[in-house]
Amino acid sequence: MLKRFFLSRSTILTLLVLILGAVVVGYLFPQRFLLSPAGMDRWELDNPLLAALSRKLALDHVYTSPWFAVLLALFLISLLFSSWEQFRLALRRTREGGGGGKELALSCSPAGAESIARKFGYLRVGADGDVVRLVKHPWGYWGNFLLHLGIVVAIAASLIILLYERRASVELVPGEVHAPGAPWAQQDLGLLAGKFVLPEAVRLDRVIPEFWPNGHLKQLTTDFTFIDQAGRQTPYSMHVNKTLRHRGIRIFQGKTFGRAFYVGFRDGKGGWQGDLLMVDNRFSGEKAPFKEFILPWAPATVRAKYYPAADRRSPVGENPLLVMQLVKGGKIIDELSLTTGATGKFAGREATLVETGWWGGIIFIDTRGMEGIFFAFVVIAIGGGLSYLCPPRELRVVRDGGGCRLTWRASRFAELYQEEFDRLCHECSVAGTGAGGRPLPDGSHKG
């Protein structure tokens, strides 16, 4: 009963549709790990109903959600049953072959026909009395099984990744160190994954963005260094589409980067307060939204954005203009624009833009099961090659009086290999005639 349920076409199609639907949902709903916290907050504010649905059904992290894991597990069970059936079918065909095919009576002896068939690549796989069975590419029977097995391995590896994968990202300014165990900017853990702690501290050394004249990003390079407990340093340089690996952890260039503004605030008593405002690059320019910051001393929310150049027009520049606003109850109660070294009044304090620089994000992924994915692709490729490039051709040689009768069939693409059978029969016919046999009578070929 259970086996029939998981092997039924309706069950398999339903699971496939649900999994494909989950992929579509993951595309339509912003995924928490792929979006900055500020961007996620803004989407939730703009779409309150969808945000509530997303949080309730875990649509903001589809691929690490319990319901997606259940879907994969059910699909894996269905594939296991199907693979077992394919294994049994391949084993039976290897031992017994299939029925039907084209028949031809020849005056050639069975031993002569077998010898000629061997020249064509046919291998003897069995004999029963006066019947000899030969097969060309008998390993082709296992193609479908290997295809199913590869898919099983891929789904199983995907399930392991879903359960145990750990993703995290940091956002650092040059010189800043992220120590093992320090809080992450973003984190996404599998259902059974433990806490993600880097084996070594990591320090951001340099962020080098390159822009096209219109302000669009051309290339982003990040230099960083791992520092172990003994102080030994391992430097790396990374850019978009380049993956690094350090002590089993894969490292990617983060999508987030931008300008970091170190702003000093001096109150009326001479007290100094320094704050770092890390504004995303994609938030720069006239049409860009503000990014919100909560500063402990500020009486309201501080939000900021910047222009690449002080003239507010150039898409690329080295002297950015920082714009800060103090917002309370949705109303702007104070605003100040600063370039590096400039000073002005903001929120009742004297504000100075001390320094600017680039900040960058780095993504770390600790994954179990990726090797299984690659192995699955190899198995699938082998299975596909056996199924479509090496289809088995079966030949049965049966003693028939002083001659023999051939039965031939191809498991796939029989029309493509008909010429091979005709050549084989011709050579057998010539051999039979040369040995004193009679030519084949008309009508002896059936298929």
pLDDT tens, residue by residue, 163-194: 999 999 999 999 999 999 999 988 888 888 88
> What's 130's DSSP letter?
T
pLDDT of residue 14: 93
Strand 131-136 to strand 393-400: parallel, antiparallel, or no bridges (unpaired)?
antiparallel
**Confidence check: pLDDT of 286 > 90:** no
Distances (CA, A) of 56 to 19, 32, 69, 131: 19, 14, 16, 67
- What is the pLDDT at residue 443? 38
**Do the bridges between strand 102-106 and strand 403-410 make them parallel or antiparallel, or are there none, so unpaired?**
antiparallel
Sheet strands side by side (includes 233-239):
177-178, 201-211, 217-227, 233-239
Asked whether the beta carbons of 119 and 36 are under 8 A apart, the reply is no
The secondary element (H helix, E strand) that includes residue 356 is strand 349-366
Work out the average pLDDT over 81-97. 92
No. of H helices and E strands in the chain?
9, 21
pLDDT at 445 over 70: no
Confidence of residue 384 (pLDDT cuts 50, 70, 90): very high
Closest listed residue to residue 394, CA positions, set 133, 165, 185: 133
Which of residues 170 and 281 earns the better pLDDT score?
170
Stretch 243-257: mean pLDDT: 89
* Confidence category of residue 38, pLDDT binned at 50, 70, 90: low
- 332: number of Cβ within 10 Å: 12
Kindly tell me if the per-residue pLDDT of 284 is higher than 70. Answer: no
At residue 431, the pLDDT reads 82
Question: For 54-60, which contacts have Cβ atoms below 8 Å and span 24 or more sequence positions?
Answer: 54/29, 59/25, 59/26, 59/29, 60/29, 60/30, 60/31, 60/32
Burial class (CB in 10 A: 0-12, 13-18, 19+), 375: middle
Beta-bridged to residue 260, according to DSSP, are 278, 357
Domain 103-137+393-434 coded CATH 3.30.310 = yes
* 8 A C-beta contact, residue 59 and residue 25: yes
For the chain, where do the domains classified as CATH 3.30.310 start and end? 103-137+393-434
Among positive and negative, which fits the CA dihedral 193, 195, 196, 199? Answer: negative
Q: Is the pLDDT of residue 442 over 60?
A: no
Q: Which helix (H) or strand (E) holds 256?
A: strand 249-266
Measured over the CA atoms of residue 112, residue 117, residue 119 and residue 125, the dihedral's sign is negative
Nearest partner of 176 among 276, 281, 33, 291, judged by Cα: 276
pLDDT confidence tier of residue 447, bands split at 50, 70 and 90: very low
Residue 197: enclosing H or E segment and its boundaries? none
Q: Which amino acid is at 235?
A: P
pLDDT at 329: 87
pLDDT for the residue numbered 36: 67
The DSSP code for 56 is: H
If you count them, how many residues does the chain have? 447
Please report which helix (H) or strand (E) contains residue 145, including its range: helix 143-164
Average pLDDT over residues 137-145: 95
Q: How far apart (Å, rounded) are the C-alpha atoms in residues 227 and 412?
A: 59
The H or E element that residue 122 is part of is none
Q: In whole angstroms, what is the distance from residue 377 CA to residue 409 CA?
A: 30
- Mean pLDDT lowest for which of 77-91, 221-235, 429-443? 429-443
% of the chain residues with pLDDT over 70: 95
The candidate with the shortest Cα–Cα distance to 108, out of 401, 410, 409, 443, is: 401
In three-state secondary structure terms, 74 is: helix
Is residue 317 pLDDT above 90, yes or no?
no
Mean pLDDT along residues 224-244: 92
Whether residue 446 is predicted with pLDDT greater than 60 in this model: the reply is no
Q: Tell whether the model's pLDDT for residue 433 goes beyond 70.
A: no
Mean predicted confidence (pLDDT) in 256-265: 94
Question: What is the structure's pLDDT at 208?
Answer: 93
Q: At what angle do helices 66-96 and 143-164 cross, to 10 degrees?
A: 160
pLDDT for 441 equals: 41
Distances 409 to 119, 124, 367, 395, 441 between C-alpha atoms, Å? 18, 15, 47, 7, 22
For the beta sheet containing 301-307, the strands, ordered from the edge strand earlier in sequence to the opposite edge, are 291-293, 301-307, 321-328, 331-338
Mean pLDDT of 6-20: 90
User: Higher model confidence: residue 118 or residue 282?
Assistant: 118
HSE-CB of 199 using CA atoms within 13 angstroms: 11
Share of the chain above pLDDT 90, in %: 62
Contact 228, 239 (CB under 8 A): no
Residue range 220-228: average pLDDT? 95
The residue to which tokens 């959600």 are assigned: 65
